[in-house]
Every structure is written in C-alpha cells, then in structure tokens.
C-alpha cells in the first residue's frame, strides 16, 4: 500500500519532449457536446478540459478527421477553420491552467450509419456488418453493411489524418493520438472477420496493418514522432464481428512490435473490457494485457480500463506501465490527482447526462474543496 505522498502515479515523466507533472492521464471521453452545425468545440469544452488540467496528460475525446469519418452524433471535428478556432480556445484554456492536451484522431468506419451521409453506407475495409450499434443523430441504431473503400478513398483518408494532425498542432495541441483500436476503422482493417480484401490492404497481417501504418507514417511525417501517440491493442467488447479469433493476438503483437520502429510519444493500451476466459485472449485478462505487451513494446505504455489508484501505482511500480489513463473517474472528479494525493473519496458518475448538449453532468462536478 503506497503512502499518499509516495505514489508512482504522482511522479513526473517525460513523454516525447513533454514534461508531465504526474503519470495520471485523462482517457479519451466522447461527451457529445458539439451539437452545432460546424461540429466545433465551444466554450463549454474549454471549461471542461481546463477543469481537468491537473492530469499529467489529457487525451481529448475522439475527434473526427473529416466529414467522411463522422459516425457518432455531436462529436467535434478537426478539418475546418471553425473547428481549429474552437480547439484553439480549448488548448489555450488547458495551457493557462498548467495542463497538457493531445488530440485523439478518430474515424468510425463501419460504426457510422447511412443517416450521417444522406443514406450512403459508411466506409470500411469490406462489406461486412460489424453488428454493433451506431450513435446517430436520432439515437442508437443497428449498424449496416458498409461499403468497401477503394484505393482513392484510402489515399484520401490517409491524407485526412495528416491534415487533422497538422490542424491539431495549429490549434495548439501538444500532440495527437491515433485511435487505432476498439471497433473502429483501423481494427476493421486488422480484423480477419471484417477485412475480406484481396488487394494489398487485405490478407496477410502486413497487408491488414497497411492502412494503420500508412496513416501513422503520414502523421509522424507531419507532426513528428515525439508528438504522435497511438491507442491500439486486441481489446474489444467481444460482440458481433469483434469476437476475438485465432488471428487477434498475433495481429496485435505484429502491430505493437512494429511500433518500436518509431520513437512515438506513447502507446495507450486498454486492458480487458469483457470476460476473456473462453476466448483466445484468456491469458490477457487482468494485468496479463500489460505484462504481455510490455515484453513487445519498448516505448511508454499508458495502461487503461477499470484501474484504481492502488492498482495504478502497482502497475507503474512493477514496470508494467509508465502512466495510467483514467476515464470514468475523470468524468466525476475534475481534481482526480489531488484526490489521489490525499487518498480522498471519489465522486460517482451520474450516467443520464454523460452524453448530451448541456453543462449539466459535464462542467458541474465540483472539486474537493467545494
């Protein structure tokens, strides 16, 4: 048991060229507050992120790289001047409060819905319904069969990530994180169930990973490896087309091993999200995820999912992680590092207004002294 004032989570760390005051990251959290025609962040976003600036590093909510990437309602983007201006106010507020913030770059692929694009099916690797739910402007709907991306669209998508990364730096972000995991576009290419392509983007693991590495190289060329991080790994909800299979682990091992070729800022690695006991990922349950991939990856690992203060300190002390990202705890505790420092109780998330357009449930969680 760590004494409150002697916690690895509270030690500083250097990520890329960023000196962070502690090892507590705020995990990316979609909050659906960009309910405006520009899909631009507002003053509400600036207040929300500034309130959480005592995190060593804030990873922004997923931000769409282009109109084609949009597949979740009221989520902000990073392709237009209005969006860059909006994010500029956010990063300025975070920096004024002493924080650091990177932009998570997102493309939902087949997790989108025809409702976002005048009835047109969303883009993905192949015409395979991921059998998930899409959060559309009129509520959750079942996903549909997507349309396979052609080579031009793949090239455009790679360029869209490059533009979004450039815009992120123009907007004052300290770096970017590619959303390379979960059920979204890159995992749709990596997953043998959702990628049936026979061109150079399908088949072998090298081919299935080509889009991810094309994007990674473009982003690295645009903003520098020291300002580029990635969220990737084998974790899914184990539902629909995203039930782990015989290729899942080897695919993630290939990707994470190859990340060593770049001197990236960080790898955000999710621990298990579902019961893995009867799956090919059974050995990755609990700390197994971090133990397994620590052996593959030489850079900084940010561990995530269901981690509390005690376990977070233990993971860092054991060398299994360099930082820990907290998602749900940061929704309800804007001053999470202070609470950890004095081992104060944590407030609980009020779920009905986690998603929604107003300040309620967003910027009204008090800090401890209040």
169-205 exposure pattern, b = at least 16 Cβ within 10 A, e = fewer: bebbbbbbbbbbbbbbbbbbbbbbbbbebeeebbeeb
- Apex 280 CA angle, 279 and 285, nearest 5: 70
119-132 exposure pattern, b = at least 16 Cβ within 10 A, e = fewer: eebbbbbbebbbbb
Contact status: 363 vs ligand FMN (CB under 6 A): no
CA distance 210 to 318: 34
Minimum Å gap between C-beta 198 and ligand FMN is 30
- Of residues 8 and 329, the one with the C-beta less far from ligand FMN: 329
Contact status: 29 vs ligand FMN (CB under 6 A): yes
Contact status: 313 vs ligand FMN (CB under 6 A): no
CA distance 118 to 339: 47
**Residue of 48, 49, 182, 184 with catalytic role:** 184
Of 45, 100, 107, 231, which one interacts with ligand FMN (CB under 6 A)? Answer: 231
| Nearest residue relative to ligand FMN (C-beta) | 327
Strand 13-15, strand 18-20: pairing: antiparallel
C-beta neighbour count of 331 within 10 angstroms: 24
- Of residues 107 and 193, the one with the C-beta less far from ligand FMN: 107
Q: Which residue has the tokens 């084609």?
A: 68
Q: Which residue has the tokens 């929604």?
A: 356
- Of residues 244 and 304, the one with the C-beta less far from ligand FMN: 304
CA distance 263 to 16: 8
Contact status: 354 vs ligand FMN (CB under 6 A): yes
- Of residues 107 and 148, the one with the C-beta less far from ligand FMN: 107
Per-residue interface string for the shown chain with ligand FMN, residues 232-271, x marking contact by CB under 6 A: --------------------------------------x-
| Rounded-to-10 torsion of CA 325, 314, 264, 111 | -40
Token duo for residue 19:
């000196």
Number of residues in contact with ligand FMN under rule CB under 6 A: 18
Of 62, 122, 146, 233, which one interacts with ligand FMN (CB under 6 A)? Answer: 62
CA distance 135 to 30: 11
Minimum Å gap between C-beta 150 and ligand FMN is 27
DSSP letter at 363 equals T
- Of residues 94 and 126, the one with the C-beta less far from ligand FMN: 94
Contact status: 328 vs ligand FMN (CB under 6 A): yes
Per-residue interface string for the shown chain with ligand FMN, residues 267-306, x marking contact by CB under 6 A: ---x---------------------------------xxx
Of 7, 55, 56, 61, which one interacts with ligand FMN (CB under 6 A)? Answer: 61
Catalytic status, residue 184: yes
Contact positions toward ligand FMN, by CB under 6 A?
A: 27-30, 61-62, 104, 179, 231, 270, 304-306, 326-329, 354
As annotated, the active-site residues are 184
């Amino acid at each position: 048991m760590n004494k409150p004032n002697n916690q690895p989570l509270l030690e500083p760390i250097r990520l890329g060229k960023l000196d962070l005051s502690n090892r507590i990251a705020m995990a990316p959290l979609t909050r659906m507050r960009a309910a405006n025609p520009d899909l631009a962040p507002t003053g509400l976003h600036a207040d929300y992120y500034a309130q959480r600036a005592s995190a060593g590093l804030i990873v922004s909510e997923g931000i769409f790289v282009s109109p084609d990437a949009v597949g979740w309602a009221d989520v902000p983007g990073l392709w237009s001047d209005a969006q860059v201006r909006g994010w500029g106010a956010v990063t300025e507020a975070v920096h004024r409060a002493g924080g650091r913030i990177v932009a998570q770059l997102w493309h939902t692929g087949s997790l989108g819905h025809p409702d976002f694009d005048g009835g047109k099916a969303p883009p993905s690797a192949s015409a395979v319904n991921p059998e998930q739910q899409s959060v559309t402007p009129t509520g959750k709907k079942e996903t549909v069969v997507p349309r396979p991306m052609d080579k031009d669209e793949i090239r455009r998508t790679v360029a869209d990530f490059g533009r979004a990364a450039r815009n992120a730096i123009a907007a004052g972000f300290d770096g970017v994180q590619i959303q390379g995991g979960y059920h979204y576009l890159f995992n749709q290419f990596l997953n043998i169930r959702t990628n049936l392509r026979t061109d150079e983007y399908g088949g072998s693991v090298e081919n299935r990973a080509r889009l991810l590495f094309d994007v990674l190289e473009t982003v690295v060329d645009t903003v520098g490896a020291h300002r580029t991080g990635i969220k990737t790994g084998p974790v899914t909800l184990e539902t629909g087309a995203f039930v782990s299979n015989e290729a899942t682990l080897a695919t993630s091992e290939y990707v994470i091993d190859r990340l060593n070729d770049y001197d990236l800022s960080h790898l955000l690695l999710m621990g298990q999200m579902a019961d893995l006991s009867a799956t090919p990922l059974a050995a990755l349950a609990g700390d197994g995820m971090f133990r397994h991939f620590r052996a593959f990856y030489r850079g900084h690992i940010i561990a995530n999912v269901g981690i509390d203060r005690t376990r977070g300190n233990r993971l860092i002390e054991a060398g299994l992680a360099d930082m820990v990202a907290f998602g749900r705890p940061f929704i309800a505790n804007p001053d999470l590092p202070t609470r950890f420092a004095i081992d104060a109780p944590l407030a609980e998330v009020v779920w009905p207004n986690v998603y929604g357009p107003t300040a309620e449930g967003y910027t009204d969680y008090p800090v401890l002294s209040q």
